[in-house]
């Protein structure tokens, strides 16, 4: 359960779990003092930060047993990140060692090494962004945003890599429809959905993002996903057998899930008729 407080400890925002599970939570009113005390929930975690010169803080309240579960999850995540970094680092080292051998083309090998460095940078960026979401440093849904202009802008920025992959990008919906996300979070959400389609939908596919009241729908008519893989698409580092050798970090859809969940919504994946993949982010209106 998460609360956002101003410097006088008045409630600015609250997660759905906090609103439903705690008494006395009123926006604009001081947070009940007992929530700041140690009790059966364990020690509350108060994380201060600044935004536009204002001092605010995130108050995280855990339920019994959550800390142990979190520590287990963190340990598993650290191990997974370490494993994912080993492969590109090993490839990078091999390329640099090969470049020093006589008769090799150093320029071409350095170019390949640059690609490995870019992959490592992308992986680290995704990991840091997930950490930012989970520690509450990025407040996801303090405002609503007219979604279609953001979707159009993001897809325009991705048209060049989409064209190289043979994927057509389409934005649809009502220009006045708002979704309960800050602009930055909406941009990240759309970028990850689009990049997933660009990487995996396949040449000749069309990827569309449709803005509906309370919903963001992303669908393609590409190669699709095996039915057995659909429930695992939002797991960190998961890649289906069809795309196991791809260059993606395996974190894009995990980021999507975290953003939507932080805004009080849900996300689901399904196969589209005739192949392809549909991902729906559903928000409470």
pLDDT tens digit sequence for 61-83: 765 454 544 454 454 455 555 55
Work out the average pLDDT over 264-274. Answer: 83
10 Å CB burial of residue 191 (0-12, 13-18, 19+) is middle
What local confidence, expressed as pLDDT, does residue 1 receive?
Answer: 67
**All residues at 6 or more sequence positions from 109 whose CB lies less than 8 Å from its CB, including other chains:** 95, 96, 98, 99
Neighbours of 78 (CB within 10 A): 11
Residue range 40-67: mean pLDDT, rounded: 64
Helices 183-200, 147-157: axis angle to 10 degrees equals 40
pLDDT of residue 171: 96
- CATH match of 145-282 with 3.30.499.10: no
Euclidean distance between CA atoms 87 and 24, whole angstroms: 51
pLDDT score recorded for residue 250: 64
How far from 235 is each of 64, 184, 213, CA to CA, in Å?
25, 22, 27
Does domain 67-134 fall into CATH 3.40.190.10? no
Q: What's the average model confidence in pLDDT over 162-178?
A: 95
- Return mean pLDDT, the chain: 78
pLDDT at residue number 128? 65
pLDDT score recorded for residue 9: 83
pLDDT value of residue 76? 47
DSSP 272: P
Asked if the model's pLDDT at residue 271 lies above 80, the reply is yes
What pLDDT was estimated at residue 58?
Answer: 78
DSSP β-bridge partners for residue 279:
218, 269
Report pLDDT for 177.
94
The yes-or-no verdict on residue 46 having pLDDT over 60 is yes
pLDDT of 245 strictly over 60: no
Partners of 49 in the beta sheet?
56
The residue among 134, 275, 115 whose CA lies nearest residue 197 is 275
pLDDT at res. 34: 73
pLDDT over 90 (residue 273):
no
Q: pLDDT category, 142, cuts 50, 70, 90?
A: low
């Amino acid at each position: 359960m998460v609360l956002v407080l101003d410097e006088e400890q008045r409630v600015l925002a609250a997660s759905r779990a906090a609103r439903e599970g705690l008494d006395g939570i009123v926006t604009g009113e001081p947070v009940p003092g007992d929530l700041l005390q140690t009790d059966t929930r364990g020690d509350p975690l108060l994380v201060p930060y600044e935004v536009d010169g204002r001092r605010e803080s995130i108050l995280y309240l855990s339920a019994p047993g959550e800390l142990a579960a979190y520590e287990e999850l963190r340990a598993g995540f650290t191990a997974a990140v370490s494993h994912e970094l080993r492969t590109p680092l090993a490839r990078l080292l091999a390329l640099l060692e090969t470049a020093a051998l006589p008769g090799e083309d150093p320029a071409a090998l350095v170019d390949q090494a640059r690609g490995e460095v870019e992959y490592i940078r992308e992986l680290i960026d995704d990991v840091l962004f997930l950490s930012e979401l989970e520690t509450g440093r990025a407040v996801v849904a303090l405002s609503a945003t007219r979604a279609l202009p953001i979707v159009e802008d993001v897809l325009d920025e991705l048209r060049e890599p989409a064209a190289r992959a043979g994927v057509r990008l389409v934005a649809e919906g009502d220009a006045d429809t708002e979704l309960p996300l800050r602009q930055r979070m909406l941009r990240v959400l759309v970028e990850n959905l689009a990049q997933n389609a660009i990487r995996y939908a396949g040449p000749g596919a069309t990827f569309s993002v449709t803005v509906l009241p309370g919903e963001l729908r992303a669908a393609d008519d590409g190669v699709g996903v095996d039915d057995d893989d659909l429930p695992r698409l939002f797991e960190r580092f998961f890649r289906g057998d069809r795309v196991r050798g791809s260059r993606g970090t395996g974190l894009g859809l995990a980021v999507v899930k975290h953003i939507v969940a932080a805004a009080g919504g849900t996300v689901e994946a399904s196969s589209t008729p005739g192949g392809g993949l549909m991902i729906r982010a559903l928000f409470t209106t």
